[in-house]
Amino acid sequence: MFGLSLLLALAAAVLPTGSRPAAQQTATVRGRVVIDIPTSSRRPSSAYPSRGVAQAQLAPPSEVENVVVYLKDAPAGSVPPRRTAIRQRGETFSPRVVAVPIGSTVDFPNDDPIFHNVFSLSRARTFNLGRFPRGESRAVRFDKAGIVKVFCDIHSHMAATVIVFNHPWFTVPGAEGAFELDNLPAGNQQVTAWHERLGETTLRVRTESGRTASVEFVLPVPAQ
């Protein structure tokens, strides 16, 4: 027994340093998404009563739910699939935006007292669920990364988006716009905030192992 222990100790001593696994620290990006909505309303100025000054307003909190923050050009990685739902309620999709990893399933339950027909012609996923009434639900599995635009064949004003990722670095901000991406690789990264109407806004962030970097997105929304 003593001889075996001695042999193991000698073998470990001659192993090159690089062959020993080293603990790898990862980085975190924490931040906030703010959506500014410039309005057409004017308020009079005290010095020039005939002129007005535009008032900028923050978007309602629900608008942040239509943002997805993610690491752009991230390396592919295995992520467990999820199951979530986009409900049809009040002739709208709720939520209008969901983000899922590859292999996930999205249910489309109909809560309205009318028929709906959910479909998509997107390159990442094409489907047509046909017409189904209140109380029924149909599901779609998403096996390819990309942006999938979803519509109702009966009600043209209904629209939703499913964003499918092949890596784990994505999230939807909370009610106050706060978000966090953890277990990121260290280095120069590009973090993107995608909004359903504004598209992509990308910021460069330097991440360091074991540290947290901060970033803030301010997204302008055109006046209605």
d(CA 161, CA 29): 25
pLDDT digit string, tens, across residues 34-60: 987 653 444 444 344 444 444 444 455
d(CA 128, CA 146): 18
Residue 211 lies in a domain: yes
- What does the pLDDT read at residue 36? 78
d(CA 45, CA 29): 41
DSSP code for 114: S
Greatest alpha-carbon span in the chain: 98
Q: What is the pTM of this model?
A: 0.77
Of the pLDDT bands very low, low, confident and very high (cuts 50, 70, 90), residue 196 is confident
Kindly tell me if the per-residue pLDDT of 180 is higher than 60. yes
- Out of 119, 146, 167, a domain closes at 167
Question: Are 109 and 68 part of one and the same domain?
Answer: no
Question: Are 120 and 197 part of one and the same domain?
Answer: no
Determine the length of the chain.
Answer: 224
Average pLDDT of the chain?
Answer: 83
Which range of residues forms the domain containing residue 108?
Answer: 78-167
pLDDT digit string, tens, across residues 149-166: 999 999 999 999 999 999
Question: Are 95 and 132 part of one and the same domain?
Answer: yes
CATH code for position 108: 2.60.40.420
- What does the pLDDT read at residue 119? 98
Query: Residue written as tokens 């009079």?
Result: 44
d(CA 108, CA 160): 11
Structure-model confidence comparison of residues 11 and 107, the more confident one? 107
Residue 174 lies in a domain: yes
- Out of 123, 144, 167, a domain closes at 167
Residue 42 lies in a domain: no
Question: Are 66 and 113 part of one and the same domain?
Answer: no
DSSP code for 223: -
- Strand-strand pairing, 159-165 and 97-101: parallel
What 3-state DSSP class applies to 43? strand
CATH code for position 220: 2.60.40.1120
Question: Are 99 and 204 part of one and the same domain?
Answer: no
Task: Find the range with the poorest average confidence among 1-5, 77-81, 105-109, 210-214.
Answer: 1-5
Query: Residue written as tokens 């929304």?
Result: 221
Question: Are 128 and 58 part of one and the same domain?
Answer: no
